[in-house]
Structure 1
């Protein structure tokens, strides 16, 4: 049984990533309760990025993509838990999905992470379909506080990680050249929805993208139609796509997702789309672009591709598993 009363934490200093933060005196927590909470969550992510820089666990665009492509919106009210300080300001929340979870915490309130893990582990035990509950938690290689906490609770770091790379947009971005037979443009509303979804499902074999999900995503707060790019073949089909999300507060753009249909690969479409996206971000006075990619063998071409466009790896976020 999880405690229902506010957890009172001591006021001793807390050393996190080389910085001394003061522990919060008291926090309260509750379940997600709707759109007002979602606005608070987005605001918290922007605040964390302003304090921590781009090396964060979740960008605002990530959250919009996760939330608006999640078919089970009702489950938000049972999976997402929020923590508030004594003045009612949001200082952290969990975002569980299947057997993994993201812990998003204001750097001054890292001491709430044990309580967050209590909640995550509680959820895993409720999974009646899994006879051996387990949970995977993300932690950056440099995040000594979270790494130590996970080790103390019996988690083991796996070999699976996500790399975060960044591209300085103050530097020159070459003008894209669309390959012969293709046109680069942005999505034009409902007229492109079905073709964009078909391309997504072709590019990612395991994708569960649907028209309903994509329609929801284009209504996300961070979504900008002119940053949702597609490469259109002469026959009118969508051959490749690249969606970018722009955090106007921190002036950071993120690529999520980038994909190309199998029949149209090796024509330079991905390169043309990303370069066009970076130039459009420059038009918004963005100073940085970011992208996450995985550690599996099939992700190695992505690593080389982004490096060729000037992206530099900044950190690796590992999956820690318990169970």
Structure 2
């Protein structure tokens, strides 16, 4: 799955290798009975795949094999006739296949906006006295999982376990040097930013970022993002991307990334078939 994503990636692509790494590491084992995956190959090379979870489809299709998108949608419709599909508006070969198959864009649905930043001119990360910026160590799985749960439990308890985080940290292309945290004076992890580096294209994906509620409004999320971006630049990348919500129902994340210097580009669209 990652090979196809990386081979066909461009600024017009919805998914980055880091998207697949994060989602598969968290969900493939825990929900493998309901998250179906199918592949389409030509001479042993994957030219398309679909991942249904269970009534929403993510798909990647090599633009040179655009006609296969119809087959992927047909596979999905066999067990989710009223399902939904997310694509980037710039993925015109997928948009055309969706419209041909009877899907229509839901303009009222939440959406995500791809943001990019060049790493040539980054700000300096600053944290309050007593706080420390550093990357995660491989043996800090429990602390890393704990701060993720704290940061992502605003709307209900996070389901991410220590075992889930261990799976994330063992999935290519994870590197602890690009997984940054803010450590509080008491040793507790307060904020995190993980970046997945696609070395072929020189672009890293920021996914995910979080700050524990007890440590918010101190500039920690901005600082840990900047520290991770500096590390990404030192690793040889030239750009980074992040995909926050673009609609006004959830503007905080978008505002954070734009304050760092990320600028918006193409947006996602949800297509439904009724």
Residue 44 in structure 1 maps to residue 4 in structure 2? yes
5+ residue gaps, structure 2: none
Aligned twin of 2:236: 285
Question: How large is the RMSD of aligned CA atoms in angstroms?
Answer: 1.9
Query: How far did residue 278 of structure 1 move?
Result: 1.0
Residue 255 in structure 1 maps to residue 206 in structure 2? yes
Distance 1:118 1:67 in 2: 23
Residue 91 in structure 1 maps to residue 39 in structure 2? no
**Partner deviation per Cα, 1:213-259 (whole Å, 9 max, x = no partner):** 00111000100011111111111111111111111111111100000
Pick the aligned partner of 2:130 from 181, 191, 200.
181
Residue 148 in structure 1 maps to residue 105 in structure 2? no
More contact order relative to length (CA 8 Å, sep ≥ 6): 2
Query: How far did residue 55 of structure 1 move?
Result: 2.9
CA contact (8 A) 2:147 2:211 kept: yes
5+ residue gaps, structure 1: 1-40, 125-132
Higher Cα radius of gyration: 1
The number of residue pairs the alignment matches comes to 269
**Partner deviation per Cα, 1:58-88 (whole Å, 9 max, x = no partner):** 1111111111111536837971111112x22
Distance 2:35 2:253 in 1: 35
Residue 118 in structure 1 maps to residue 85 in structure 2? no
Distance 2:188 2:51 in 1: 35
CA contact (8 A) 2:115 2:243 kept: yes
Aligned twin of 1:80: 37
CA contact (8 A) 1:64 1:221 kept: yes
Distance 1:118 1:292 in 2: 28
Pick the aligned partner of 1:166 from 104, 112, 116.
116
Aligned twin of 1:198: 146
CA contact (8 A) 1:94 1:102 kept: yes
Runs of 4+ with >4 A deviation: none
